[in-house]
A and B are shown apart, each in its own frame.
Chain A
Amino acid sequence: MREKYFDIKEGLVTGFPIVIGYVPIAMAFGILAKATGITMMDSFLFSALVYAGASQFMALNLLNAGVGIGEIIVATLLMNFRHFLMSASLSTKMRNREKKWIPLIAFGVTDETFSVASFKKQMIDKEFILPLQAVAYFSWIGGTFLGYIVGEILPSDIKSSMGIALYAMFVAILIPEAKKSSRVALLAGLSGMMNFLLNYFKVLPQGWTLVLVIIIVAAFGAFVFDREEVKTIE
């Protein structure tokens, strides 16, 4: 019981940086949604049901441009295909897979909750990941409302500087691991470089670049480091 309590607390605390990152983005979405002319209820449903930053902005743009619903749905699916990889990876790190919680945990997978949870030292259980995801989720919805209702309350310099928050969180997650293991450093560096180049030359449609980079780099790691390990054992 005590252990569970600590897990819950840890989940809530580690969710805090995500809140700092999500609220300004969600507010920006709320503001843009209002400007696009959709109702508050629809904006809320967007954030509550779609719950995916870039996709929601894209959907607003496409709605604005008069693109059909079918096309928006397909584009959204493609854009979020990376979560397929993330969920697959995360599900190998779960302890006590309790069937009834899986649909909820799966719903809460985002780039950020995935990154935080994946680099947790121990196996993950629902007492940790559900509070983490809940904090992220409600800050996203809360931010959407806030943006829709009150608009720009944050001074623009503060809002802009908060744009760095999620990247700083990713860096803070990555650095200690990269320090310990040259593999992590190599793979993360490689994926950053590949993603930079693919984005720079706009080789693939939006959403696919990240998927491709993750697959190539993780596969590279699985093959190269597999052999290395065999060698060291011999």
Chain B
Amino acid sequence: MTYIPRLFPFVVVYREKMPARLSKFLQFIPCAALGALIIPGVFSSIPEMPQAAIFGIGFAFIYAWYKGGIIVPVLGSILVAYGVLLVN
């Protein structure tokens, strides 16, 4: 039941024969999904202390903005969140 939605589109969707608007729609799916995958889930990602999540994600945001990369924002946000949990 988790497999059908994942497999079906690969079999059906072919880029070559597709209206322009549909292909645009499909191209916008990643950013449409990403916003909703982050918000509001992130606020409850550390249920016992939402502030830790906010500081952690704030670090990821700022670091990704100025420096980019994935691994440093991820590890850094964990450390920041951990730090906030320790202090409180």
CA distance A102 to B32 in the complex (A): 24
CB-defined contacts of A192 to chain B, threshold 8 Å: 35-36, 38-40
Q: Are B78 and A20 in contact (CB under 8 A)?
A: yes
By beta carbon, the residue of chain B nearest A212 is B36
Q: Are B34 and A188 in contact (CB under 8 A)?
A: yes
CB-defined contacts of A89 to chain B, threshold 8 Å: 26-27, 29-30
Of A80, A103, A114, A210, the residue contacting B30 (CB under 8 A) is: A114
Contact of A170 with B29 at beta-carbon distance under 8 Å, contacts A16-B71, A77-B1, A163-B45 already known: no
Of A106, A160, A171, A190, the residue contacting B38 (CB under 8 A) is: A171
Q: Are B45 and A20 in contact (CB under 8 A)?
A: no
Q: Are A175 and B65 in contact (CB under 8 A)?
A: yes
A-side interface residues, number (CB < 8 Å) = 85
Q: Are B25 and A222 in contact (CB under 8 A)?
A: yes
Contact of A210 with B29 at beta-carbon distance under 8 Å, contacts A163-B53, A164-B42, A165-B78 already known: no
CB-defined contacts of B85 to chain A, threshold 8 Å: 157, 160-161
Q: Is A152 an interface residue (CB 8 A)?
A: no
By beta carbon, the residue of chain B nearest A17 is B74
Q: Are B70 and A14 in contact (CB under 8 A)?
A: yes
By beta carbon, the residue of chain A nearest B22 is A222
Q: Are A84 and B31 in contact (CB under 8 A)?
A: no
Contact of A217 with B35 at beta-carbon distance under 8 Å, contacts A77-B5, A106-B6 already known: yes
Q: Are A188 and B73 in contact (CB under 8 A)?
A: no
CA distance A82 to B73 in the complex (A): 26
Q: Is A40 an interface residue (CB 8 A)?
A: no
CB-defined contacts of A51 to chain B, threshold 8 Å: 2
Of B21, B35, B52, B60, the residue contacting A168 (CB under 8 A) is: B60
CB-defined contacts of A226 to chain B, threshold 8 Å: 20-21, 24
Q: Are A213 and B40 in contact (CB under 8 A)?
A: no
Determine which residue in B3, B6, B9, B53 has the highest number of CB atoms from chain A within 10 A of its CB, and name it. Answer: B6
Q: Are A91 and B74 in contact (CB under 8 A)?
A: no
Q: Are B56 and A222 in contact (CB under 8 A)?
A: no
Q: Are B35 and A91 in contact (CB under 8 A)?
A: no
CB-defined contacts of A106 to chain B, threshold 8 Å: 3, 6-7, 10
Q: Are A174 and B74 in contact (CB under 8 A)?
A: no
In the complex, chain B residues 29-88 whose Cβ is within 8 Å of any chain A Cβ: 29-42, 45-49, 52-53, 56-57, 59-61, 63-65, 68-71, 73-79, 81-82, 85-86
Q: Are A114 and B33 in contact (CB under 8 A)?
A: yes
A-B contact pairs, 6 of them (CB 8 A): A16-B71, A73-B1, A106-B6, A158-B82, A164-B57, A190-B35
